[in-house]
A and B are shown apart, each in its own frame.
Chain A
Amino acid sequence: MGAYISVPTWWQNLDSRYRLTIGECGECGATKFPPEGACINCAAPGSALEPVEPEGTGEIVAHTVIEGGEPPEFSELINTEDAIGAVLIELDEGARVPGMLTDCDPHEFGRGDRVEATVRRIYEQEGVVRYGAKFRPKND
């Protein structure tokens, strides 16, 4: 049981799942994650978005620690780690991405802290383990 994201749907966005590929609008220069659909800033059609591979580094701009009521696909994770750090990261290239903290106590981190992306197991569905980017603390 979980949010149903089929394997084909997951595979459509592997560049963004693994490498956080964002889009840069050819009309106005605004960035967007994931790189699909119309530009949020100027409404140029999605075809105007140029894919850009970011460094994977950025800053936490919103922060929460989930201690209960998690989506069922993450029950195993929360049973193992007690809590999930769910954050919004503003990448150094501009776009904001939602992400999960890893390799740290999520209570110890918050807005303004620097993080970097690393590929981890996200969850398993349809018998297929889904991997994607999580974020760990970065010491500059």
Chain B
Amino acid sequence: MRDVYVVGAAQSKFGTFPNESYRSLFGSAFESAVESIDGDFDRTEVDEAFIGTLGVGGRQLGLSGPAVTEYVGLDGTPCTRVENACAASGVALRQALTSIRAGVSDIAVAGGVEIMTDMSSEQTRYWLGVSGETEWERMAGTTFAGVYAQMASAHMDEYGTTREHLSRVAAKNHGNGAKNPHAHLGFDCSLEDAMEASTIADPLNLYDCCPTSDGASVAILASREVAEELTNSPVRLTGSGQASGTVGLFQRPTITGIPATEDAAEQAYEEAGVSPEDIDFAEVHDCFSIAELMAYEDLGFCEKGEAGPYIASGATEPDGERPVNLSGGLKSKGHPIGATGTGQCAEVFKQLRGEAGDRQVDGLERGLSHNVGGSGGAVAVHIYEEGWA
């Protein structure tokens, strides 16, 4: 397989933007990604594009991929919309990688976009219910937060995970997001405030839940030959994994972890020829606090059931052995569904190149991104390394 590099990556600001359209937000992310490329980039040379979006609100259900690529001057370029709920653009990234590896493309664009905040509360709840299984899970009254709350109830009961362990995810990620100018909720949150927030779906409270956000993100990938002309500070995609799981939690063999994460991670580690202990830092899918804790276990950062003590040890703080969600994660940076996967890629890209501003952690050489659709129906994991092969 051919080596593939991220030569440019960026996100728009995530947040609430009543004056922006899904196209203008995508345009903002795309132009920032182009600006992040070191060399002279000609957008007419993009061979293929993959765009992730759930299409929240139904503003352009069909052809929502070409609708945004035409906006940035890629009219005529093959474009495919990828839908895997919240894992849409993590999977779009894998599609772009695969296209270059296969020799179909030399330059491929992966991206994602979502507008979620301009609808009524009823419309929002209508749309977000469908990230879980509809016919049975939703008809039992289970919200999206509710599915993760059910997993939290089982994890807490089985492994002794505590209220404080959950809230440490919020406090850490808000601390990181407060240093990220692109974050939706870029403010600090104390552990006490996180623990005392009002209940959304017991045992999860408001600070256990990520916000709904507007935003877009873009990663521009190239083959080695092309990358040598475009970048001075290469970021190589060394491993990629993807797996599916049953859409409904009730049909899975385990409810205290996400089997598709384990499967996708195993593939990515094998491709990259590394183990979990070789990962310097990670952007993981913390749509709910329990999701970040389960990710530690499913990605192999700690033993099964040990995620609570692992976060309490400080291991995933910016000065810990393996910083997690330096961007602020979905919790603080925001979660515009289709844009989250390539948004994670943009953070890994910036950290590896030393371009992450106030939240930069020095000495990082190998990063991982982990993007989950629904409650684990689809997962994409990618591993990135600084430097040429």
Contact = CB atoms under 8 A, between A and B. Distances in A.
Interface of A: 1-3, 5, 9, 13, 32-34, 40, 61-72, 74-75, 77, 84, 86-88, 96-100, 107, 110-112, 122-123, 132
Interface residues of B, number: 39
B249 A62 contact: yes
A71 B122 CA distance: 8
Given A3-B130, A61-B255, A72-B126, A67 B140 contact: no
Given A9-B135, A66-B141, A111 B153 contact: yes
A87 B143 contact: no
Interface in B354-377: none
Nearest to A123: B139
Nearest to A132: B139
Contacts of B149: 64
B202 interface: yes
Given A72-B125, A107-B202, 18 more contacts: A1-B126, A3-B129, A5-B134, A5-B135, A9-B135, A40-B246, A62-B249, A62-B255, A66-B142, A71-B125, A71-B138, A71-B141, A74-B141, A86-B143, A87-B140, A97-B136, A98-B139, A98-B249
A62 B134 contact: no
Nearest to A67: B199
A99 B140 contact: yes
A1 B122 contact: yes
A72 B129 CA distance: 9
B154 interface: yes
Most A CB contacts (10 A, CB to CB) among B122, B154, B203, B250 go to B250
Contacts of B146: 64, 66, 86
Nearest to A69: B143
A65 B199 contact: yes
Nearest to A99: B140
